[in-house]
Structure 1
Amino acid sequence: MLPAPFYEDDLVHLYQGDALDILAELGPGDADHVVTDPPYQTTGTSWATKASSWADTMNTAHWFTTWYQHVARILPDHGSFWSCCNWRTLPIVQRAAHDARLDITSVAVWHKDAIRTGSPRGLRADHELIAVMAKAAFRIADRSAGDVWTIKTGTRKPHGHPAEKPVALPARILELIQATPGQIILDPFAGSGTTAEAAKRRGHKVIAIEADAAWCQTIATRLAAVPSPADDGEPL
């Protein structure tokens, strides 16, 4: 049974709790598309620091597989799944998708176009990735859309989350999904609520999950300030 929502309005249901526990309570068809930015969980930068954490990497792979299997079970045949990652976690994502029997149909590159410096031994990190997994009946809205997106980001995080993405990133994904009114966007790792805000602004229903109570409060405050398109007099 799902817990009582931490926050809800006419479009959004936000649940506080462990993503695996709450995903387990959702049934087939309870969401139409998944757009999420999970924890990457790989922070080592050298062999010396990463060698002793290989078991942690394997645990991360198992964890990804477990929640990917929930997503595969929940999504209908017209559904899609967009999972942010980086170059370190892409192999884990590929393995999890394989084990969950999800087809990776594309990997989008988010070019951040940010002014920053790289490490002394490597190049400046100027991109992240989005793995795109599609069920059999999913059709993208624009078949001419490319897989490299330049969406500028800065060092300032408007809501203070260390992994906060610009709203324009999930908004771009939602443009390509072209979900119809009444379809539900699921974000199992809501963070500061960026995907939920982008979806609410487009008039989509949202199920958001976040483990941390403080971030849930941030999301609730943030979303309460976002009018739905119907409130603005815009068409859904």
Structure 2
Amino acid sequence: MKIVSWNVNGLRACVNKGFLNYFNEVDADIFCVQETKLQEGQIELELEGYHQYWNYAIKKGYSGTAVFTKEKPNSVKYGVGDADHQDEGRILTLEFPDFYLVNVYTPNSQRDLARLPYRLSWEDELRGYLKALDRMKPVILCGDLNVAHHERDLKNAKSNVGNSGFTSEERGKMTDLLTDGFTDTFRYFHPETEGAYTWWSYMNKVRERNIGWRIDYFLTSDRIQPFLQHAGIHPHVMGSDHCPIWLEVDFSALPLKQKESLLTN
């Protein structure tokens, strides 16, 4: 199974910049997008063989998530928890036989950190939600999490300490989640890799010079580790200020009894 995640920073604009070419080329089993920036009826995507699920923000041209999947999920949930976190269309949860898929677009703390308290409240609620899901079956979380966890996850770490996306509070929330039973799959396969980024400013030649941040992730329940095949980044794919990331998982990789033991405990 191949899963792709991409913050498209406006799906209509991204479609005009080659989104469908990449979508068809990568042939993912599940394709998740964040920051769709549209309302129902503003786009018609012909994605043959895929079921489409959308969570729109109430505010026009803002936020939003979507999931396109070849396999129809057992159930779909829009949003999570406190009503204060529902209006921006930031979470979609699809339940499949072996796992939950949670597609997330985490709020940005803003340049002056004005939204940091809201962001931290969001982090706490999301973590509780993920742990509750994990008690039922494993979780695959993907999306733009708007944080560079370690210094190797951004080009200019020292000059960005304390800035939005690299505050001690945001990084600490990521650490809390990972130590609470979740795996950063890119680091699982590439523990020491540097210069691997998923977002670049639109400023002149920043992407060309690879002055970026890794803020898009696939996080999985730790017990999925035996099923992980590979995880990577497609920095060559244009169309957004983010690039796509991908994860390959094979739930048939272990004998049935061993698989059932891991996925039900």
Greater share of helix: 1
Greater share of strand: 2
TM-score (norm: length of structure 2): 0.39
Indicate the structure whose relative CO is greater, using CA pairs within 8 Å and at least 6 residues apart.
Answer: 1
